[in-house]
Chains A and B, each alone.
Chain A
Amino acid sequence: MSSTAAVEIRGLHKTYRRRGRLRTAVDRLDLAVPQGGVHGFLGPNGAGKTTTIRMLLGLVRADSGRMRIFDAEVPRELPRVIDRVGAIVEQPRFFPTFTGRKNLQLLASAIGVPRARVDAVLDEVGLGDRGRDRFRGYSLGMKQRLAVAGTLLKDPDLLIFDEPTNGLDPAGIHEIRETMRGLADRGKTVLVSSHILAEVQQVADTVSIIGNGALLAEGTVASLLAGAGATGPTARVWVQQGERAAGLLRDAGFVVRPQPDRALLVSRPDRPLDPSEITRTLAGHGLYLSELSPQRADLESVFLGLTAHTGPSAQHHAGRGTGGTGHPPPPGDQPRHGVDPHAGGPR
């Protein structure tokens, strides 16, 4: 294992037994999170993101595989590096009847951080004036911020956020994104899991995409998008007599998806899309375009292409570890198996 990675996972495996039935949550997963920057850890619901993070933090036992955080073999050497790691797993979980401040004070005294730091981190996340309210009475966003404040107590080098924007409003999502970016800009490593790509694409430097517990793709956002681009992006076409145009384009070998606003999304699965080909085909039949705009490929389509067949109930996906070779469906394709419907369409 290289020593430059913040997190490195090899062959991680975990099977849960529920009422006598075995369910593989993480399937020989390989993962590498480079030091510095934001790393998106992506996968549909039930892909095994939370389970992986739990194993990394020693909360759940792995069946097999090796994990490393910085230079420490975990979970064996976790105590040695835990001061450099801050984590929020799933929901922020604190004592509901204690105030936010009391909750942090307890954590601070357990890890030997001066109590004065509690007020500092509360201010940092904007909870300074609500610190004396009970945790129970916090809104979801406040709970999330308290959890972030908790991770900042020890000024860690690696922050692990599991779906940190779950249930937050746009302002809250923006705030979390800013926080993650700010931490990365200060040289920290942020590992953020999500099934909502829109939020990760904007902030992540590198990503890993998993499905059914196994790695499907990894790399920088740019390289994954370039991989998607190679199979041809999509063009948005607006033309009178849309139905006739669609038929003509299909005859010419294009893939055409009519849109609700009567525009057509046109792509070419066999080779890179050449817009002039569309113009030529239609003009040859007396149809003239009123609009033709290229649609930027986004991570969403890469993701959907990779994970379309790896929903919670789907069979294991064969290919893995090959960056961006999946065939992305055109943007605007509806999310399939278990992918959050709020994930958003093309932008």
Chain B
Amino acid sequence: MIRLVGAELDRLRARRSFWVFALAALLIVVAFQTATNSTLRPPTAEQVASQREAYEQTHREWEQQCGPGSPGAAETTPAGDASAEPSSGPDDPDDYCANVPEPQLSDFAYGQQSFADAARSSVQISTLLGALLAFLIGASSIGAEYASGAIGNWLTYVPRRGRVFAAKALAVALATAVVSAVLSAAAVAGPALLARGYDLPLTGLGDVSALAGRSVGLIAMAGLLGFCAALLTKHTVAAVGIALGYAIATSVSSGVLAFSKHAEKVVPWTPQANFQAVLEHDYSYQVIDGTGFGEGSESRTAVLTFEHGLVYSLVLLAAVLAVSLLVFRRRDVG
């Protein structure tokens, strides 16, 4: 069995697409750090100057409209504008000045994030990318075997299908876990290094590391799901189609559920919410009570717990693996 897993890992490693996918994901995560950099970086003198300039210009405009001696402040309507008098349109300086407070310099400050927030976004991006990549690695590894027919040849050397399946699945899980560990490490190290460079404290590093760890688990799971999808359909492309269909269904359903009073009944059983609950350790979503719109409706926050997400995800994975194993064991190989 160890021999078989070794051979499967060796095969994955020899596949060029494995490295292409892995490198592409790593590059994107690294590239994302430029965005992280801009959120962590303290403003430069130039930025402070332009910030000041923007503030001053806005303030000047405000002063002309609403400052002392301005039409708004004098509380007079422009002469000859009788028709505008009964109603106060949006351009009415009176109304405008009442709603717009005096601009403050701080309103124009560049939003400088904390390390924890920046690292969190970075890990979320790397999880999404990693899951996509792992799904592709898992799907194409077995898809290539069916496409080339090499699976039939392989089975004439190792006829124990249960073991062959286990070795392949394990190899996919291990390989994607290693790749995702690298991705997660990069996703956390990037913001950490940047934060250090700007003398920001690394508060929340523990939480972020735990998040990254859960990300590794989810990515390996995506690899296994991709593997099973391609094994069941015998085609990499079909597996990718399944993933696409899932993505579309998820975005549609989340759009529908966002306005639904049934959200609390449905959301806990959608894969997406449960994966989120695992990744973010509890997932909160909005539920609207009542009709959904207008009076009598109230929005409140519901929570899907980490434990729920974990059990759900593991049961889902186990079920998919079991069905795939059953099919693989019984299927004629032509």
Contact = CB atoms under 8 A, between A and B. Distances in A.
A binds B: yes
Interface of A: 54, 57-61, 75, 78-79, 82, 85, 87, 89, 91-98, 102-103, 105-107, 109-112, 147, 150, 154
B148 interface: yes
Nearest to A53: B156
Given A93-B152, A95-B150, A79 B160 contact: yes
A98 B13 CA distance: 11
A54 B155 CA distance: 11
B3 interface: yes
A109 B157 CA distance: 11
A278 B6 CA distance: 73
Give the most central of A93, A102, A150: most B CB within 10 Å: A93
A91 B157 contact: no
Nearest to A95: B150
Nearest to B6: A109
Contact of A59 (B15, B158, B333): B333
A110 B154 contact: yes
B149 interface: yes
A95 B157 contact: no
Interface string B1-29: 00110110011001110000000000000
27 contacts: A54-B334, A57-B156, A58-B159, A59-B152, A59-B333, A59-B334, A60-B333, A61-B332, A75-B159, A78-B159, A79-B160, A82-B159, A89-B156, A94-B148, A95-B11, A97-B16, A106-B10, A106-B14, A109-B3, A109-B6, A109-B7, A110-B3, A110-B4, A110-B7, A110-B158, A111-B157, A111-B158
A85 B159 CA distance: 11
B153 interface: yes
A112 to B, nearest CB: 5
Interface residues of B, number: 27
Contacts of A98: 14
Residues of B contacting A: mostly:
helix
Contact of B156 (A87, A95, A112): A87
B149 A93 contact: yes
Given A60-B332, A109-B10, A92 B159 contact: no
B151 to A, nearest CB: 8
Contacts of A110: 3-4, 7, 154, 157-158
A93 B157 contact: no
A95 B148 contact: yes
Contacts of B155: 57-59
Nearest to B3: A112
A150 B144 CA distance: 20
Contact of A107 (B15, B16, B154, B159): B154
Give the most central of A59, A98, A110: most B CB within 10 Å: A110
Interface string B204-219: 0000000000000000
A295 to B, nearest CB: 41
Contacts of B334: 54, 59-60
Contacts of B152: 59, 89, 93
Contact of A102 (B14, B153, B160, B330): B14
Nearest to A74: B159
Contacts of A107: 7, 154, 157
A58 B150 CA distance: 15
A82 B159 CA distance: 8
Give the most central of B16, B152, B158, B160: most A CB within 10 Å: B152
B166 to A, nearest CB: 13
Contacts of A91: 149
Nearest to A160: B156
Given A93-B148, A94-B148, 18 more contacts: A57-B155, A59-B155, A59-B334, A60-B333, A79-B159, A82-B159, A91-B149, A93-B149, A93-B150, A95-B11, A95-B148, A97-B16, A105-B10, A106-B11, A109-B3, A110-B154, A111-B3, A150-B153
A59 B156 contact: yes
A109 B153 CA distance: 15
A57 B159 contact: yes
A59 B332 contact: yes
A85 B156 CA distance: 9
Contacts of A150: 153, 157
Give the most central of B16, B330, B333: most A CB within 10 Å: B333
B153 to A, nearest CB: 5
Contacts of B16: 97
A78 B155 CA distance: 11
Nearest to A147: B153
